Structure 1
Amino acid sequence: MTTHFDFTKPKIEALREPKPGERLVYHDTHKNAAGLQLRHSGNTKTFFIQKRVDGKPERVTIGKFPDMSIENARKEAARLSALIAQKINPNTDARALKTETTLQELFDEFLKHRRNKRGAFLSEKTKRSYRYDFGLYLEKWGKRQLSQFKDTDFGKLHAAIGKEHPTTANRVIAMASSLFGYAAERKLFKGANPAHGIKKFPETKRDRFLQSDELPAFFKALAEEPNDILRDYFLMALLTGARRSNVLEMEWTQINLARAEWRIPTTKNGEPQTVTLSPEAAEILRNRQGCHAVWVFPGTGATGHIVEPKKAWRRVLDRAGIDNLRIHDLRRTLGSWQAKTGASLAIVGKSLNHKSPSTTAIYARLDLDPVRESVERATGAMLAAGGLKESGVIVPIKKKA
């Protein structure tokens, strides 16, 4: 084979083995080669460039094949050639020794400055989720420079995670793709996004909600919960249909009991939401007044409010004999019972603060009166099915004596 050719992986892999002590050198003829060469000695193939610096020949090692892809080697060759053109010696000058951005540096930058489509910074909840996934799956690559990533890195990671956790695999790859997309926007990375275009695993959307025959046992199990803060939290999540993070972070300044409304300043959609409070939900809040100056559901941790009460939720489900029910399913339960009691999809969407291009215009025309009526009708139906009230009768939900 000629010593001058357009580098491709198959061609490099097909190079003849050098004789003992022999060093073979090949030159890349690609239009973006930037002087890239390959040295083949023994079992090692090394990318490098050779330029004249201050009139003297200087060889700068770039990386080893196949650990470094050809595309990334060309990018690094171009970067180093640009430095040499500025009379900077990559082998000795501290300015050149400053490596490019690493994945960890990118992640830290991303959390600080990333904004969503509406221009808002990432919420603390989203940051916690990103940190958890990054620490579990991507931190092992934290010191790797961005140009050193290959498509196969994320393809293999996605496949490995997806063997047991397909939804998590999709989420991690989506985060990685967002990271590299952000890097490209900030001119921290050039080239194709290595996490983009990976075929996602199919995900089955949950349709789980509390059925009529489950409600009596569920309400009985809640009434027997010894921790009144957690009991009331679960009830509030069910009766308002709000996202669990918003219920956890509910503050008294957001509550207007006179108007039976809860104003959430910022939701997952990045917009505020006014939640109508049914008489039963308002009664729970009245009973909680005076428990804490700031938080409706106070906790002992750093946040000041309770955080994901998984153990208490497990206790409730065990007492009720209910399986496969998540706290988020309480939100779906209210929406499902609204639909069962005659609410339109627009009304349900308005009450749950769902957003989609096809419904946004409809939501904008709706005031809270039909939403309130729907929520109260659904609440009444759930409580009646649970054996706690007759139709049209308001019954406070209290701890069982």
Structure 2
Amino acid sequence: MPRVRITKRFLDSLTPRDREFVHWDPDLAGFGVRVRPTGRMTYIVQYRAGSGRSAPDRKVTLAPVGRLTPDEARAEARRLLGSVAQGADPAGERQRRHAAMTINELAAAFMALHVKPKRKPKTAELYQHILEKFVLPALGAKSVADVTKADVMRLHHGMRDRPFMANRTLAVISSLFSWASKHEHVHEGLNPAARIETFVENRRERFLSTEELKRLGAALREAETVGIPWEPNLSKPTAKHLPKPENRQTIVNPFATAAIRLLLFTGARLREILHLRWAEVDLARGLLFLPDSKTGRKTIVLSAPAIAVLHELPRTGVFVIAGNSPDKPRSDLKRPWGLVSRRAKLEGVRIHDLRHSFASFGAGGGLGLPIIGKLLGHTQASTTQRYAHLDTDPLRRASDAIALAISAAMGEFASTDRNGSLDGR
């Protein structure tokens, strides 16, 4: 870039690039403007802290462009560089002030200024949980400058029996220090969580079989009509006041059973169904228009069974799956799912496994992974790839074609079918 004096006109002409860059002012050595890929621009000053070639370079952020005019920023840069000439180290002093900050204080600023304003509520909730449950008890009292890679490795290793949560904790610490570096709470690039090897996570996937789905359907119909029977604890003092055996049934709320069916018939995530509003349902076109999901805006294509479920639901409020309040979504399905899954004898099946089952039936039916990924709302093809081992139809056709060609060349069998019968020669 040509050496052009930093003026308002010049700043207005700057356009961001794929990577961050700095334009240095030709009239004042060390004064520049940093441009991030997002378009954010800040005035900075760079100087050498000390004399000699081994003296480290320091950068100080003066202010965002817009908060100061170019002339005001140049005057502030000149004042700061004058202090450097007299032996001061502004960046070092700032780092020393920040180094006195504890991880408790840094985490509070990180949540308030970065995570809550910029992340989805569920993500912010997860960050808060990880910080309060794991990070702060172990590192909270330490000053930011005193946290070492060994400290983070010790915390991560201590959670080895929970590899998923251990890796999420490592990611939160890394994000915390990346944010601290960007805002000059620590030296640029300092991150004690960097390059720590994560644990292998064995992804748990459970798919319902046809027989299990049959039992689930029967349990749902029983739950919403006569109710699911329950056995009392006869050892309790209140056992003599129990209802008669024929009255010991729990009828499940029809909105809860409808939610379970919609999860099965759409492959949607739990929150996508529980937070679904009637305003987002287009039954005429058979679509759900979700303004926000885990992957952003999303359109769900409704199947005929899903449309039938929605047609039968009464509109009692804003949300499709009515909760205790007409203006608030239902929070979870833990109790109804527990009752129904136990009655259907579905051992170890989570509510999220209904989404996996939707995908597994599609893959097993040879619909193709791209189509399944589109239905599930996956933004990355690699996410759908977990179902590749179920997509056997193309492999079966390929195996048949190869083997039949070989057997024909051998003069043995002209064709075979999957029932075991052979057309011999």
Fold equivalence (TM over 0.5): yes
Map Cα deviations across residues 129-161 of structure 1 (whole Å, 9 max, x no partner): 122222211122334332121111111111111
AA in 2 matched with 1:178: S
Structure 1 pair 131–278 and aligned structure 2 pair: CA distance change class (3 A): same
Q: What does residue 378 of structure 2 align with?
A: 354
- Measure how far apart 1:113 and its partner are: 4.3
Higher relative contact order (CA 8 A, sep 6+): 1
Structure 1 pair 218–150 and aligned structure 2 pair: CA distance change class (3 A): same
Q: What does residue 150 of structure 1 align with?
A: 148
Name the CA distance, whole Å, in 1 between partners of 2:364 and 2:125: 36
Name the CA distance, whole Å, in 2 between partners of 1:159 and 1:87: 38
Q: What does residue 102 of structure 2 align with?
A: 102
Runs (4+) of structure 1 moved beyond 6 Å? 96-99, 357-360
- Measure how far apart 1:182 and its partner are: 1.7
CA contact (8 A) 2:98 2:185 kept: no
Name the CA distance, whole Å, in 2 between partners of 1:277 and 1:178: 38
Map Cα deviations across residues 90-120 of structure 1 (whole Å, 9 max, x no partner): xxxxxx878644323333333344479xxx9
Q: What does residue 311 of structure 1 align with?
A: 335
Map Cα deviations across residues 228-281 of structure 1 (whole Å, 9 max, x no partner): 2221111111111112121121111111111111011122123x1110111221
Q: What does residue 299 of structure 2 align with?
A: 274
**Alignment partner of 1:208 out of 206, 211, 216:** 206
Structure 1 pair 99–155 and aligned structure 2 pair: CA distance change class (3 A): closer
Q: What does residue 174 of structure 1 align with?
A: 171
Structure 1 pair 358–224 and aligned structure 2 pair: CA distance change class (3 A): closer
CA contact (8 A) 2:216 2:340 kept: yes
Structure 1 pair 235–206 and aligned structure 2 pair: CA distance change class (3 A): same
Name the CA distance, whole Å, in 1 between partners of 2:275 and 2:338: 21
Name the CA distance, whole Å, in 2 between partners of 1:236 and 1:263: 15
AA in 1 matched with 2:102: T
- Measure how far apart 1:86 and its partner are: 5.6
Unaligned runs of 5+ in 1: 1-30, 34-81, 89-95, 361-401
Q: What does residue 272 of structure 2 align with?
A: 246
AA in 2 matched with 1:236: L
Structure 1 pair 285–87 and aligned structure 2 pair: CA distance change class (3 A): closer
Name the CA distance, whole Å, in 2 between partners of 1:342 and 1:97: 62
- Measure how far apart 1:358 and its partner are: 7.5
Which TM-score applies when normalising by structure 2? 0.57
Counterpart secondary structure, 2:105: helix
Number of aligned pairs? 273
Which TM-score applies when normalising by structure 1? 0.61
Name the CA distance, whole Å, in 2 between partners of 1:87 and 1:256: 63
Q: What does residue 217 of structure 1 align with?
A: 215
Question: Does the alignment pair 1:229 with 2:255?
Answer: yes
Name the CA distance, whole Å, in 2 between partners of 1:359 and 1:170: 18
CA contact (8 A) 2:98 2:186 kept: no
AA in 1 matched with 2:344: A
